[in-house]
Amino acid sequence: MENKLKQLKEILAECVDLMYAGALLEWDQQCYMPTGGSEARSYQMATLKRLAHQRLTSSETGQLLEDLKPYAEQLDPDSDDACLLKVAQRRYDKNVKVPSELVMEFARAAGASHVVWTKAKAENKFSDFQPYLEKIIALRRQYADCFAPYTHVYDPLLDDFEAGLKTADVQAIFADLRAQQVSLLQEIAARPQVDASFLFLNFDEQKQWDFGVEAITKIGYNWECGRQDKAVHPFTSNFSSGDVRITTRLTPDYLGTALFGTLHECGHALYELGVNPAYDRSLLGGGASLAIHESQSRLWENLVGRSFPFWQYFYPRLQEYFPAQFSNVSLETFYKGINQVSPSLIRVEADEATYNLHIMLRLELEIALMEGSLEVKDLPEAWNARMKDYLGVAPSTDSEGVLQDIHWSNGYIGYFSTYALGNLISAQLWERIQTDIPDLADQIRRGEFAPLLGWLREKIHHHGSKYEPQDLVQQVTGSKINAAPYMRYLRAKYSEIYGL
């Protein structure tokens, strides 16, 4: 059996190599590739994904998994080998239902649409992107049909990003969460608004970049195993535990874009950099799920990066970078300003109290697209209507609305709910962290981030994809994904800022 396990691990390592090679091509496409390379790149990525899929779903892989079942039953269920066999079996069972031709066609469609989306967003032309998105939605429906019968057509896509979670589960969580967040927003709206005008001045882009680099270096980003580049829509890419790259976006007349975007992507990177190196070239490498991943990025962006202790340490340095903008702005005023609650058009720049409403909006639209109750051509109008209903604002252009996010151009249908779920998990983790590190606020105030990062390394990062997301959350916090800690966090924070 040891020999069969070795054979399986070699096959899976080849699959991982191919997947990361494709991810490297995608990173290059978004950071450096000239637009003229778009068509050829779509073929290259499609070929790599087809080869990885064929290797994973081969009869050899299936037979090895079958032969190893008795061996797996004898292992400690928490052992690396037992978890690897469980993950591999799940991946095989799902992927074997999908034809390689569909995998390749979808990869080509997503690869080709990215450049079109980038141009359409820049020129505010949804009509240029529409046929590409229509093809992606059609291919996602074909993909979902590979898993029929299903409870809901959206379930197979959601499962790709959050294993085991059903559409009905997310809808139930969001229904309860929305009512609570709307109530909180109404209370905040009744109070005098805090000032944030000082964030909307002219900020030298190189200084923004330099401050961001200084901040994420301090909290633990390892530049020997990573780099930062610019992208239209910030993202993080990992190719091993020793190569995790981030991107950011700079806005000359608003500091928050780069400031919090850099912290967000660093949170993703810290997760990948902390995965057990023994899991490189293994299906246990990488994060447990997208919601767990977002819990890390949102934790560093918000629970740390928008906290008062964080800025007690970093604000004097920010004032040195931008004395003209902040020399007459007190720390308390700055802290309230970066936490201002104001419904806005752009998800990635939304405050914590309204952010989840952006996610709920997208989830509803994706479900409608998959069900066929909404056509792609009607998406801008539906987007604007829901923005008005959910947040009381509506975009004047599609670039600020339906075209603002990169995910649909990459075919990531089923992804968006993980952002809000990540918010919930981050607050659950935060309550546990504060119990385990009672002087956490004082540590952050002194610029000491190693204990916090060490806790996350031990409890979350090191395990990679070894555990299913709900099991990992239960193991660390004592309960599965739960909205109550997040609402306690929001209410406590904004009661102080707005005097609720």
Cis before 149? omega within 30: yes
265 is known as an active-site residue: yes
The answer to whether the beta carbons of residues 257 and 251 sit under 8 Å apart is: yes
Which of these, 90, 65, 84, lies nearest to 1 by C-alpha position?
Answer: 65
Please, how many CA atoms are within 13 Å of residue 1, restricted to the half-sphere of its CB? 13
**Rounded Cα distance, 81 and 91, in Å:** 15
Three-point CA angle 480, 175, 288, nearest 5°: 35
Q: Can you tell me the distance from the alpha carbon of 185 to that of 182, in angstroms, rounded to the nearest whole number?
A: 5
For residue 40, the tally of other CB atoms under 10 A from its CB is: 11
CA distance 375 to 382: 10
Q: In whole angstroms, what is the distance from residue 253 CA to residue 245 CA?
A: 26
Tell me if residue 248 falls in helix, strand or coil.
Answer: strand
Q: Distance between CA 287 and CA 293 in Å, rounded?
A: 6
Q: Which amino acid is at 343?
A: P
Please state whether the peptide bond connecting residue 34 to the residue before it is cis, i.e. omega within 30 degrees of 0.
no
State the Cα–Cα distance between residues 303 and 309, nearest whole angstrom. Answer: 10
Catalytic residue among 2, 105, 123, 265: 265
* Among 367, 368, 378, CA closest to 414: 367
Query: Which candidate, 424, 417, 420, places its Cα nearest to that of 480?
Result: 424
**Euclidean distance between CA atoms 206 and 67, whole angstroms:** 57
d(CA 265, CA 348): 12
d(CA 484, CA 184): 13
CA distance 426 to 473: 10
The residues that are catalytic are 265
